[in-house]
Amino acid sequence: GSELLEQERSNSNVNVDALSHFLFTKEGIARKQRVLKVLQSEKVFDKSQNYFAGRIDRFETALARAKKLRQLAVRNGWTQDDRLTANELISEPGPYGLHESMFLITLRDQGNAEQHEKFLRPAEEYKYIGCYAQTELGHGSNVRGLETTATWNADDKTFTIHSPTLTASKWWIGSLGRTANHAVVMAQLIVNGKSLGPHPFVIQIRDMKTHEPLENIHVGDIGPKFGYNTMDNGFLLFNNFKVPHISMLARFSSVDPKTNKYSRPSSPSLIYGTLTWVRSTIVMQAGGVLARGVTIATRYCAVRRQFQDRDAPEWEKGENQVLNYTTVQIRLLPLLATTFALHFTGKGMMALYAASQKKMSQDVGKVGAPERGPGPEETHSGSDLLADLHATSCGLKSLASYTAVEGLEVCRRACGGHGYSSFSGIGPWYADYLPTATWEGDNYMLTQQVARYLLKSARSVLKGNEATNDTTAILSNFLSRQDTGAAFDILGNDSELVAAFAWRAAFLTFEALKHRDEQKKPWNSLLVDFYRLSRAHSQYMVVKNFYETLQASPDSSDGLDPETLGLMHKLFRLYALHTLEAEASEFYTSSAVTVRQIQLARTNAVMKLLEELRPHAVRLVDSWGFPDWQLDSSLGRYDGKVYEDMFHRASELNPLNRVTVDPYPDSPTLFKKNEASALKSKL
C-alpha cells in the first residue's frame, strides 16, 4: 500500500500544512504534537489491547489512564486545552469524564461562594470525585417530570432526598457506576408541601475511605452498552437520605434556613448559555469526528485494489484502486466536503457564542429581570442574539451529530469486509460517538425548539418588524420576492447557491406558520414538518458558514493559497449540490430551483466535481492531521501498510489464538488449552 499512497500524495499539490494551519492554527498543531509525545511515552496509554479486552478489563485500564492523565496534567501544568487534546488523542471516554466536565461546571456555575469553598475546591483536587445525576430510569428529556424528591425539613434544616418509585432511580449517569463519591443530583424541591421543580443538590454517596455506598443509598453500574464501555454509567436510588442545607446549590435559587422561604432571585439565562455552548462544541467536534472515518476510508480505498476497470485499455493491467469507482466516490467525497463544512460551521458558532457572551456581560442588569420565563424563546430586547444562537445551536446539534453518525457508517461500509473488523478503527469510534445523537437534547426533539423560534421570527416579520438578525433577514427577503419568484443560478454562482438554501428554509417556515396559525393544526401533527424545517434551516446555516469562511480566507492572516482555496470552493459546491440533490423535492416545491437544474446538478455538476476532487482526496484528508496513534486503525495508516498491520494484530496480538478448542460435538471439553490471559497487558 505504501507506493499507492505515495503516488496519491505526489499527484496532488494541496498544501497540507497550510490547510492544517487554516483549520487548527499553528498553536493547535504544536500542542497536539507536544501532548502526543507525553502520552506515547507512558505505557498505560498503549492501545494494543484495546480492541481485544472485555468490559471489566477495559474499564480497569480506563481508570488507570484517567489517574495517569490527572498526574500528568498536574506535573506538566497542562492547560484546559492541553487536557482536551490529550482526551482527543486517547479517544476513549474515561471514568473521570463527568467529574471533569459537568460536575465541576455545575459546582462553579451554580454554587455560591461558600459552596465553592466547600465543594468546588476539594473537587478540583480530586478529593471529591463527582458526576451529574439528572436523568432517571423513567425520565430523560422531560426534566420537569423527574421523580426524585428533596424535601425541606424546617425543624432540623435539612433536605430529605428520596426515590419514591423504581422509575425515580437515577440512570445513565456517567462516572457514577463505580467511580464517583459525590453527585450533583437534580431533585424536585419540596418546601412546605409545595413542589418547586427540579433543583441541583451536591450529595456524598460513597464513603471517602472504603468507597462503599453510604447507608440508604443503592448505587451501581447500569451494565454494558452499544459503546462507551470504558465509562461506568450508573444508577442511584435514595431511601430517605438526609443532607444538610448547604447541599442545595444556591446561586440561582435557595431556601432561607431562617424563614423557610424559597427564593429565585437570578435569571437562568446563564444556564441556557451553557447549554448553547455545549451544543456548539458538539457542532464543532462533529467535523473532526466524521473526518476520522473519512480519513480511514479514503486512505484504505486508495490502497485497496479490486477488479480491472471494464473500459480500461488493454495495457492497463493492474486492478483498479476502489477509490476510482464512482459509487465509492459518491459515498466518500461528499462526506469529505462535509467534514470541512461542519468544522467551519462549528467555528462560526463558537465565535457567535463568544460575541453573545460579551454582549451579555455588557448588558448585565438589563436582561434577566425576574419576570422572565423559563425558555430563551421568551427573551426580549438585548438577548435577541442569544435566542437566535440558542435555536441555531439546537438545529445544528441535531443535523451535525446525525451527519457524523451516519457518515461514519457510510465510511465503514465503503471499506467492504475489512470495515467490519475492529481494526478498521471506525466501528468502535462510531459506537462511542453514537449517544451524541441522543444526549444534550434528543435530535428529533430539539427540532421543535428550532421551529418554535422560526415561527416566532416569521410572525414578527409578518407584522412588519424590521429584520434584526440573519434569520429575520432571510424571512423578509422571501416575503418581498415571494410573488415574483426566484430562479437561482445554483450551477453558476456560489452566492446564489447559498440563497437557494435560504429560500427553501424561508418557504418551509411560512408553510409551517400557515399550518399552525391559519389552519390551527395541533402541534403534534406538525412535528414531522418541524423536523424538516429545522433540517432545512440548519443546512442553510452550514452552507452559509462554509461559503463565508472561504470568502474571508484571502483576507485572513493564515489564509489559503489560491490553488488550495480553489479546491475548497469545489468542496463547498460538492457539499451544497449534493445536499440540494438529496433534498431535491423541497427545493422545487419551493420553486427555488427547476427540475432541469436538479437533473443537471445530479448528472453533470456533482459527477464532474467528484472527478476533479478525486486526485486530491488523500492530501485533503491528510490535512486533518490525525496521528496514527490517534486513529488506531489498520486501514487508515498514514503509510498505507494496511495488510501488514491487520495481519500483525490478528496473528500476534489476538488472545483468542492462545486458546485451543476441542471441536467435536460429543466431547464435553471446550478448551483443551487456554493461555489467553497471558497476553493481558500489565498496567
Instruction: Name the residues annotated as catalytic.
Output: 440
- Looking at 313, 522, 562, 678, which residue binds a second copy (CB under 8 A)? 522
Contact flag: residue 220 with ligand FAD (CB under 6 A): no
- Looking at 274, 438, 469, 591, which residue binds ligand FAD (CB under 6 A)? 438
Alpha-carbon span 593 to 496, nearest angstrom: 11
Alpha-carbon span 332 to 294, nearest angstrom: 7
- Vertex 98: Cα angle to 95 and 99 (nearest 5): 85
Contact flag: residue 229 with ligand FAD (CB under 6 A): no
Closest CA to 334 of 571, 498, 620: 571
Which C-beta is closer to a second copy: that of 131 or that of 568?
131
In the shown chain, the binding pattern of residues 148 to 187 toward ligand FAD, with x for contact by CB under 6 A and - for none, equals ------------------------xxx-------------
639 to 658, contacts with a second copy by CB under 8 A? 643-644, 646-647, 649-651, 653-657
Which C-beta is closer to a second copy: that of 410 or that of 461?
410
Contact flag: residue 41 with ligand FAD (CB under 6 A): no
- Looking at 16, 131, 437, 567, which residue binds a second copy (CB under 8 A)? 437
Which C-beta is closer to a second copy: that of 360 or that of 598?
598
Which C-beta is closer to ligand FAD: that of 249 or that of 506?
249
Closest CA to 232 of 161, 191, 158, 179: 179
- Contact between 241 and 217 under an 8 Å Cβ cutoff? The reply is yes
Closest approach of ligand FAD to the CB of residue 95, in Å: 12
Alpha-carbon span 601 to 591, nearest angstrom: 16
Closest CA to 328 of 311, 354, 305: 305
Identify the helix (H) or strand (E) that includes residue 177: none
CA–CA distances in Å: residue 339 to residues 85, 227, 511, 545 = 19, 23, 31, 13
Give the Cβ contact number of residue 280 at 10 Å.
26
576 to 635, contacts with a second copy by CB under 8 A? 581, 584-585, 588-589, 595, 598-599, 603, 607
Alpha-carbon span 338 to 287, nearest angstrom: 7
Which C-beta is closer to ligand FAD: that of 417 or that of 464?
417
- Could you say which of a second copy, ligand FAD, none residue 595 binds, taking C-beta under 5 to 8 angstroms by partner kind? a second copy
- Looking at 402, 439, 588, 629, which residue binds ligand FAD (CB under 6 A)? 439
Look up residue 138 and give its three cell numbers: 423513567
- Contact between 111 and 162 under an 8 Å Cβ cutoff? The reply is no
- Looking at 322, 342, 617, 635, which residue binds ligand FAD (CB under 6 A)? 322
Which C-beta is closer to ligand FAD: that of 188 or that of 597?
188
Contact flag: residue 226 with ligand FAD (CB under 6 A): no
3-state secondary structure 231-242: CCCEEEEECCEE
Question: 15, exposed or middle or buried, with CB in 10 Å at 0-12, 13-18, 19+?
Answer: middle
Look up residue 319 and give its three cell numbers: 486492478
Amino acid at 262: Y
Alpha-carbon span 327 to 606, nearest angstrom: 12
- Looking at 22, 24, 51, 241, which residue binds a second copy (CB under 8 A)? 51
- Could you say which of a second copy, ligand FAD, none residue 173 binds, taking C-beta under 5 to 8 angstroms by partner kind? ligand FAD
State the residue for C-alpha cell 492541553. 82
Q: What are phi and psi of 548, to 5 degrees?
A: -70, -35
- Could you say which of ligand FAD, a second copy, none residue 389 binds, taking C-beta under 5 to 8 angstroms by partner kind? none
- Kindly give, in sequence order, each residue whose CB lies less than 8 Å from that of residue 608, ignoring residues fewer than 6 positions away: none
Look up residue 346 and give its three cell numbers: 462549528
Identify the helix (H) or strand (E) that includes residue 179: none
598 to 657, contacts with ligand FAD by CB under 6 A? none
- Contact between 425 and 631 under an 8 Å Cβ cutoff? The reply is yes
- Could you say which of ligand FAD, a second copy, none residue 565 binds, taking C-beta under 5 to 8 angstroms by partner kind? none
Which C-beta is closer to a second copy: that of 142 or that of 557?
142
Identify the helix (H) or strand (E) that includes residue 185: strand 182-191
- Could you say which of a second copy, ligand FAD, none residue 134 binds, taking C-beta under 5 to 8 angstroms by partner kind? ligand FAD
Closest approach of ligand FAD to the CB of residue 428, in Å: 15
- Contact between 120 and 107 under an 8 Å Cβ cutoff? The reply is yes
Query: Binding segment for a second copy among 56-64, 81-89, 196-204, 239-247 (CB under 8 A)?
Result: 56-64
Residue 548 carries which DSSP code? H
Contact flag: residue 260 with a second copy (CB under 8 A): no
Contact flag: residue 327 with ligand FAD (CB under 6 A): yes
Closest CA to 508 of 540, 464, 552, 483: 540
Which C-beta is closer to a second copy: that of 366 or that of 672?
672
Helix (H, G, I), strand (E, B) or coil at 220: strand
Contact flag: residue 527 with a second copy (CB under 8 A): yes
519 to 538, contacts with ligand FAD by CB under 6 A? 527
- Looking at 76, 79, 141, 468, which residue binds ligand FAD (CB under 6 A)? 141
Closest approach of a second copy to the CB of residue 575, in Å: 17
Contact flag: residue 330 with a second copy (CB under 8 A): yes
Instruction: DSSP for 321-374, please give it.
Output: BGGGSHHHHHHHHHHHHHHHHHHHHHHHHHHHHHHHHHHHHHTTTTS--TT--S
Contact flag: residue 306 with ligand FAD (CB under 6 A): yes
233 to 252, contacts with ligand FAD by CB under 6 A? 233
- Could you say which of ligand FAD, a second copy, none residue 575 binds, taking C-beta under 5 to 8 angstroms by partner kind? none
Contact flag: residue 221 with a second copy (CB under 8 A): yes
Which C-beta is closer to ligand FAD: that of 126 or that of 444?
444
Alpha-carbon span 128 to 182, nearest angstrom: 6
Which C-beta is closer to a second copy: that of 460 or that of 654?
654
- Contact between 451 and 530 under an 8 Å Cβ cutoff? The reply is yes
Helix (H, G, I), strand (E, B) or coil at 484: coil
Count of chain residues binding ligand FAD (CB under 6 A): 31
Contact flag: residue 157 with a second copy (CB under 8 A): no
- Could you say which of a second copy, ligand FAD, none residue 174 binds, taking C-beta under 5 to 8 angstroms by partner kind? ligand FAD
Which C-beta is closer to ligand FAD: that of 228 or that of 624?
228
Closest approach of ligand FAD to the CB of residue 1, in Å: 13
Which C-beta is closer to ligand FAD: that of 543 or that of 635?
635
Identify the helix (H) or strand (E) that includes residue 487: none
- Could you say which of ligand FAD, a second copy, none residue 179 binds, taking C-beta under 5 to 8 angstroms by partner kind? a second copy
Query: Binding segment for ligand FAD among 263-271, 356-364, 371-379, 416-424 (CB under 6 A)?
Result: 416-424
Rg (CA), the chain: 27
Alpha-carbon span 187 to 229, nearest angstrom: 27
176 to 205, contacts with a second copy by CB under 8 A? 177-181
Residues that bind ligand FAD (CB under 6 A): 98, 132-135, 140-141, 172-174, 228, 233, 304, 306-307, 322, 325, 327-328, 414, 416-418, 420, 435, 438-439, 442, 444-445, 527
